[in-house]
Amino acid sequence: MGRIKKKGTSGAAKNYITRTRAVKKLQISLPDFRRLCIFKGIYPREPRNKKKVSKGSTAATTFYYTKDIQYLLHEPLLNKFREHKTVAKKIGRALGRGEVGDAARLEKTHIPKIKLDHIIKERYPTFVDALRDLDDALSMVFLFANLPSTQHVPSKTIALCQRLSHEFEHYLIVSHSLRKSFLSIKGIYYQATIQGQDILWLVPYRFVQRTGGDIDFRIMGTFVEFYTTLLGFVNFRLYTSIGLVYPPKFNAKSDELGGELGAFQLEGKGISTNGEPATNSDASTVITSAEAQAEADKVANLVDPEEDKEASTAAALVQVDEEGNTETIDTFEATAQDADILPQPQASSAEIASLFAPFTFYLSRETPRAPLEFILKAFGCKRVGWDGILGDGAFTTNESDPAITHQLVDRPSLPNESLPEVPDAPATIDDGAAVPIAQWPRSTMPGRTYIQPQWVWDCINQGKLLRPDLYAPGAELPPHLSPWVKAKKGEYDPNLPLEQQELEGEAEAFEDEEEDAEFFGEETTTNGKDHVMDALVDREPSVEVGEGMDIAGSEDESDEEDEEEDAAAAAEEWDGIESDGESDVSDDEAARKQHQRELEAEATGTVIEPTAPTTRSKNAAIRKKAEKKRREEEEERERQKMMLSNKKRKLIKRIEHGTKKRDVESETLRKKRRKIEKVKAAADAL
């Protein structure tokens, strides 16, 4: 006879361990256990059968893999946690005895310092692995960089996050790795491509942050401690790959004056390509050593195959004439309304990187300086100025500088009568000629383009310079859409006109609905009281008060209403057959009446003058034709579904349910847009 196996010693019960048992096994406190799991990347697991794991119990319990806990037993940080606990006990005893000096000495000299370098190397064996996991790290670091200093968020942590985020932004500016950005309700999304890896992170707006009491900053602080270490490693590797000294020089005085990006000064190692000492201007072309150059060439060759394919396609589509002038890139347009959307060729990354290189921008006081400065410099702009009140580091603080080509404003142009009076500033003299002074919105500078900030984001997302007149101050801006969401066939697209995306007969149906709404609206407003009074007067005397009215809580009437709704739903299912019959009867009746009128006119000798069809009759004919076509397509689909199995039929039913839901949403959006366009047309006509 075989040995009887004891319950809970093998299988799922052995593969999982509860959190309480794990804490006892590691001999640390629960906060230290959570901190250690965050550092090591170990998370709770959900077993398939909780009864087998917890020996028949169904209580809510947190489980971990037993192998993960065994892995934590050999972690060097466990000794650090125990040493910290021992020193904390000594500090507590010293404070209890009133020995404040001894407590301060113990805290300064005996508190163990925790380093996470070995954990970074364990979790990310290659640099590409670290880049793939950089999304959450950047979002958390940028979040803490914009938080106010509180007792839960120390100022040292905020300063560290600000320094690391600015260093990463400087790398994106030098390497031109930024690709797209989007303004959302949560904040500003950025996407960069580094060594073929797409990195997407979120930066909150610089509003006054009000942190609630339900936020566990201890857990978030643990993540920030790990992410700052990771980002420090990544920044060092990125800087050295392009020949820059890390960390860059930091000007504390400029940072106190609000310099931010301008407080960092980049330096290159070795000599430049022309044989002179490297400077900040040619830091991106520095040659450091043979080993570093080989690493840089290796990084440069790591290009996304899709991006390389798009670049080669775009280069092939650029046509060159006999004189050597290049034309614009070809675009592919659909030949039919229901045709698939063809992928359009895009400009190369080198052209997009120098999108704003020829321009000099000036940021008005009401515009967000930090994101605009970062985006403009990341796409080639070398000269960005702003008002001195926004901080240090501007190319120019003079709004009347003639070198400025574009000025970003976020205020509408108001008449001078509505503006408060200010003393006129004296005009500056340059070589005996008075230089005009521009002060928006009182006056503008000739030859300067005034645009709203959204123009910058839309230009980089589309990879080209858009028309600035569409983004003029006070103008209604085009829709700002996410660059990562592509319009699918059948969905509403704000960039396309309604004629290209609406269904057949939809516009005519909307016109008829508007006419009916206007007609019945006027009738009810003018004769509403008369109809009510007529109904009361014409009521029979035998009818008691309240009779014929809906009574709340009547079960019989509710049952009857439910039956009527079911009958109506069943009738809608058979409307394909009945509607065809009704339409045929109505057509035959109309033809019969027309033939009768012709016979009467022939007998009396009169001539029937042809009447011009009205707009409503035309719309009715178009809608009728479109409905007939849709019914035929629906019948054809039903016939095809009859040949399928029950499983595939249910799958198609679920797909059609989602498609109908999407069509209803798109139709609702098109109706809203049609109403807005109608109101605008009426306003323009006035």
**Reported confidence tier of residue 290, pLDDT bands at 50, 70, 90:** very low
How many residues in the chain? 686
112/507: higher pLDDT: 112
pTM of the model as a whole: 0.70
Q: What pLDDT, on a 0 to 100 scale, did the predictor assign at position 273?
A: 34
The least confident of 188-192, 491-495, 623-627 is: 623-627
Domain boundaries, the chain: 12-109, 117-301, 356-414+436-486, 490-520+613-686
Which one of 232-241, 349-358, 404-413, 513-522 scores highest in mean pLDDT? 232-241
Query: Is 495 a residue whose pLDDT tops 80?
Result: no
Which one of 5-19, 242-256, 591-605 scores highest in mean pLDDT? 242-256
**Reported confidence tier of residue 566, pLDDT bands at 50, 70, 90:** low
Question: What torsion do the CA atoms of 292, 294, 296, 301 make, to the nearest 10 degrees?
Answer: -170
Q: What pLDDT, on a 0 to 100 scale, did the predictor assign at position 497?
A: 74
**Reported confidence tier of residue 680, pLDDT bands at 50, 70, 90:** confident
pLDDT single digits (tens) 386-397: 988 898 888 888
Question: How many angstroms separate the CA atoms of 360 and 471, rounded?
Answer: 18
Question: How many angstroms separate the CA atoms of 34 and 65, rounded?
Answer: 15
% of the chain exceeding 70 in pLDDT: 68
pLDDT single digits (tens) 413-462: 766 655 566 555 555 555 555 556 666 666 678 888 999 999 999 999 99
Indicate the helix (H) or strand (E) that contains 360: strand 360-363
Question: How many angstroms separate the CA atoms of 101 and 103, rounded?
Answer: 5
- Cβ-Cβ contacts under 8 Å for 85 (sequence gap 6 or more): 29
- Give Cα separations from 606 to 528, 594, 609, 669 (angstroms): 44, 15, 9, 52
Question: How many angstroms separate the CA atoms of 35 and 24, rounded?
Answer: 15
pLDDT single digits (tens) 219-263: 999 999 999 999 999 999 999 999 999 999 998 888 888 888 989
Query: Is 279 a residue whose pLDDT tops 60?
Result: no
Radius of gyration of the chain (CA): 36
Bridge pairing between strands 406-408 and 449-451: parallel
Q: What pLDDT, on a 0 to 100 scale, did the predictor assign at position 203?
A: 95
Average pLDDT over residues 558-574: 49
**Reported confidence tier of residue 360, pLDDT bands at 50, 70, 90:** very high
Q: What pLDDT, on a 0 to 100 scale, did the predictor assign at position 322?
A: 35
Q: What pLDDT, on a 0 to 100 scale, did the predictor assign at position 300?
A: 44
Q: What pLDDT, on a 0 to 100 scale, did the predictor assign at position 444?
A: 78
Q: What pLDDT, on a 0 to 100 scale, did the predictor assign at position 280?
A: 39
**Reported confidence tier of residue 531, pLDDT bands at 50, 70, 90:** very low
Q: What is the DSSP letter of 194?
A: E
- Cβ-Cβ contacts under 8 Å for 258 (sequence gap 6 or more): 390, 391, 392, 393
**CATH 3.40.50.10190 corresponds to the domain 356-414+436-486:** yes
The least confident of 174-183, 384-393, 495-504 is: 495-504
660/141: higher pLDDT: 141
Token readout for 577 is 């057959």
Average pLDDT over residues 276-282: 40
**Reported confidence tier of residue 314, pLDDT bands at 50, 70, 90:** very low
314, 345 contact by CB (below 8 A): yes
DSSP track, 578-629: HHHHHHHHHHHHHHHHHHHHHHHHHHHT--PPPPPPPHHHHHHHHHHHHHHH
Q: What is the DSSP letter of 420?
A: P
528/598: higher pLDDT: 598
Query: Is 266 a residue whose pLDDT tops 70?
Result: yes
Q: What pLDDT, on a 0 to 100 scale, did the predictor assign at position 344?
A: 55
Q: Which residue has the tokens 């035309």?
A: 618
